Structure 1
Amino acid sequence: MWIVINCVGCFWVVLTMVLGLSQALAGDLSVAGFFLVVTTSYQVWSEAERFPHLFRQFMEAKNGVMRLIKYFDKHNEVSDSAQTANNKLELIKAPSIKFDQIDFNYNEKVSVFKGLDLDIKAGEKVGVVGSSGAGKTTLVKLLCRFYDPQKGNLKINDENIKQVSLASLRENIAIIPQDIELFNHPLIENIRYGRLDASDEEVWEAVRQSYAQDFIESLPEGINTYVGERGVKLSGGQRQRIAVARAILKDAPILILDEATSALDSESEAFIKQSLESLMKDKTVIAIAHRLSTLEHMDRIVVMEHGKIIEQGRHSELIAKKDGLYAKLWSMQSGNILKNKVA
């Protein structure tokens, strides 16, 4: 497209000069008028040259908007009522979270939770493990009110989350997912998505705390580098550090880690762990993980199976239960089964 517009622009300027010169030689146009015509035509061409860039930006924005629309269509099962739209959830410090006799199913045929009870103390760090389909991610979806349970109550600091606005609820929750959503915009704007009113210095402070400064400064245009659609120009570890930077910038009292390190190599995981240690301070944390080693130092680990909590306790307590599911999963991941067979 740029080549076509450039050729048309050149033709336009040359044509204007030829016509203007012929008019000037015929005495129908003054010298000053001739130069005015040529200058104006050149300015028109210069503006037209920007069109491919503007068109590309428009298409990128359109794609981003369409992805957001699809996202919210997918997670738009609930909405504010007239009574709750103006009720704000105001949290000064890490809150308690209570799942109280929760019944939930995505459809009438499959029940996910039946009478689920889970109390999380203020400031407690809780790991959640279980096989696929155990209900781990559904906990997060209910807490964020992407869905409402059919029965039971979900409370934050003893306040039913159905009684506060969705916006204020989600402002108090930061999520670090396995796959971060990135747009083909400058990296600084992708990070600022965590808190839109953040200053450049606040963004940079989040970058430093997430151990992302070195790789960002090595990019062609630094923090102003366009990262590509879905962040394709960044590695998995780099994208996760951006997710951590967003969460640091948001500084919400509730932090959710949803398989945040499952797809990372050892070096990237080490960086993420370092940044998460400081991020989790003074927050109520729910960490969903398949890799059990990431949950060793949690205050409590909850083991789920078929929508039920079948075990819970500290890491040391759970691995001591040799017949327990957690101990078996730990043994498999740590390689003890293979060692026993060799012996």
Structure 2
Amino acid sequence: MTPPYARIAAELRRRITEGELAPGDRVPSTRQVAAQWGVALATATRALAELRREGLVRAESRVGTVVAEPPPALPPASGAAAPPGDRVRVAAPAPRDGDAARRRPGAGAERELTRERVVRAAIEIADAEGLPALSMRGVAARLGVAAMSPYRYVGSKDDLILLMADAAFGELGYPGDAPEGWRERLEIAGRTLWAIFRRHPWLAQLSPLGRPLALPGLTVHADWALAALDGLGLDPATVLDVHILLYSHVQGLAINLEREAQIAAATGLSEEQWMDVQGPALSAIARSGRYPAFAKVIGGLGEDGYDFRLDDLFELGMRLLLDGVTCLVERSRASGRD
């Protein structure tokens, strides 16, 4: 019997080759495939990985899996003009003795495989499809190697996720000549973390605040923030509190990046489309008279309405947080003078 992943890949392949899905169109996500065909996420991941291996689809960050552009037509080998619209295929030369072994599928990729390549391939999958879509088999398919090959470099999926997080957090660092003001330094820390979470939204899902990850790549950000707060007269516990509040502000907003992508994939609705669906219900609540403050704010928005932007909320939160720390530092210095 044909395995389920192959049947799914065959159906999606048919949709692509027959033009039902055009280049750039989104292919059903891993979760959508799993729900539509009634299979496990691992099976859905393997089906999409098969299409990626064939070059029919590609992963696009924060969009998902989309149909790849077809390769350009090759020129006629004989110099004769090709029929309009036809793609010319050039026959491969007959293999020489020993070529079969050297051209074995994945043989070159196996020789070039490293831990860094395994980690980078896993990050690309998580960036495009979310952490639930990640599997060791999917990483192997993306790299074009045997299913068990990544285990030579990474012991388990949990180990792989930690390596991914360490690498992702380590992508951005800090300037060697730090600003003198603590506020500027904390602001740099917040913006650097936000940029990393923007690149890799799945990072926000890994660990709650009370269970910090012991990763060198993440500790770099903590060390910068703690150094910014050094010498301000705050006790060590308060310094840690401020650092955790800064991190939680960034992480708390970033959680919504991944959740929004998951909900959009599951429902097929963008944020704007979702609000269009919910609009009548929200208007009814505002007109009910039971929530006057809510009705006043909603009515005051006018025809332009409200644009929900996480980047704007990040900026506002940073200003309020840093203003609060300013008051805390001034109060600590004032009590020290008394």
Q: TM-score, normalised by structure 2?
A: 0.25
**Greater C-alpha Rg:** 1
Instruction: Pick the structure with more helix per residue.
Output: 2
TM-score, normalised on structure 1? 0.25
Q: Whose strand fraction is larger, Structure 1's or Structure 2's?
A: 1
